[in-house]
């Protein structure tokens, strides 16, 4: 691998013999670094020097909001479309954050539907991603099945996590409701005691007025 780009928040290395590029995101990615790395990869593909790319998103933090706008309005239309016929595979090593995974899945699943001849697949580690991306001659139909299987597994994991989060919230809310109900009953009992005490005090005073010489 030869490093061809090294910026504060992105980097890219290329194995020109295998025609594989590796893109790396680091921390909170700036628009300038993001754009430069993606354009560098697109230019290499346009020249026919790479036909597959591995995107390592494990260390990605926040993306500058302008990144998504630029990708949607310019990158897909002006840079991705012309190079798709020259590309074979795109492997993505997922972000550790839930939001990053959901965003990444949405983007790459959309691309797979738009460009069915280009194989996309998500991974949890670089070793598995690189092993898959090097098997470029595998039939596209098999690649598509692999991709859909991986998407279903990731979606199932995400749904399980979201369900667990929802169940935990329901349990917490239930406990809060029990505490609120208990506090309400305690307040009602305290108020009842105050009222009874006030009644007793009132009747004692009335009795003293009516029968001042009586002994209680």
Higher per-residue confidence, 27 vs 138: 27
Q: Which tens digit of pLDDT belongs to each residue from 73-117?
A: 888 888 887 888 788 888 888 876 665 556 566 666 666 666 666
Structural domain boundaries of the chain?
A: 2-138
What integer pLDDT is reported at residue 213 of this predicted model? 59
pLDDT at 178 over 80: yes
What integer pLDDT is reported at residue 104 of this predicted model? 61
Q: Which tens digit of pLDDT belongs to each residue from 116-135?
A: 667 888 888 889 889 888 87
What integer pLDDT is reported at residue 205 of this predicted model? 63
pLDDT at 32 over 80: yes
In CATH terms, the fold of domain 2-138 is Transcription Regulator spoIIAA (3.30.750)
| Portion of the chain with pLDDT greater than 70, in percent | 68
pLDDT at 170 over 70: yes
* Among the ranges given (115-119, 148-152, 169-173), the one the predictor scored with the smallest mean pLDDT: 148-152
Question: What is the SS3 string spanning the chain?
Answer: CEEEEECCCEEEEEECCCCEEEEEEEEEECHHHHHHHHHHHHHHHHCCCCCEEEEEEEEEEEECHHHHHHHHHHHHHHHHHHHHHHCCEEEEECCCCHHHHHHHHHHHHHHHHHCCCCEEEEECCHHHHHHHHCCCCCCHHHHHHHHHHHHHHHHHHHHHHHHHHHHHHHHHHHHHHHHHHHHHHHHHHHHHHHHHHHHHHHHHHHHHHHCCCCCC
| Per-residue pLDDT band at 212 (split at 50, 70, 90) | low
What integer pLDDT is reported at residue 141 of this predicted model? 43
What integer pLDDT is reported at residue 202 of this predicted model? 61
pLDDT at 215 over 60: no
């Amino acid at each position: 691998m030869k490093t061809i780009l090294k910026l504060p928040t992105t980097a890219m290395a290329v194995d020109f013999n295998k025609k594989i590029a590796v893109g790396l995101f680091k921390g909170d990615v700036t628009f300038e670094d993001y754009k430069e790395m993606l354009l560098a990869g697109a230019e290499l593909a346009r020249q026919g020097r790479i036909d597959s790319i591995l995107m390592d998103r494990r260390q990605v933090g926040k993306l500058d909001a302008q990144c998504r706008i630029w990708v949607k309005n310019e990158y897909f239309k002006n840079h991705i479309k012309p190079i798709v016929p020259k590309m074979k595979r795109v492997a993505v090593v997922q972000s550790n954050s839930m939001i990053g995974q959901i965003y990444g899945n949405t983007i790459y699943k959309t691309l797979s539907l738009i460009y069915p001849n280009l194989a996309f697949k998500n991974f949890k580690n670089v070793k598995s991603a690189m092993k898959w991306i090097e098997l470029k001659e595998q039939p596209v139909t098999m690649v598509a099945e692999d991709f859909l299987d991986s998407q279903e597994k990731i979606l199932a994991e995400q749904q399980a996590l979201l369900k667990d989060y929802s169940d935990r919230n329901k349990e917490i809310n239930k406990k809060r409701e029990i505490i609120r109900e208990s506090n309400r009953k305690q307040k009602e009992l305290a108020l009842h005691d105050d009222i009874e005490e006030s009644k007793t005090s009132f009747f004692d005073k009335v009795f003293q007025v009516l029968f001042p010489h009586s002994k209680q």
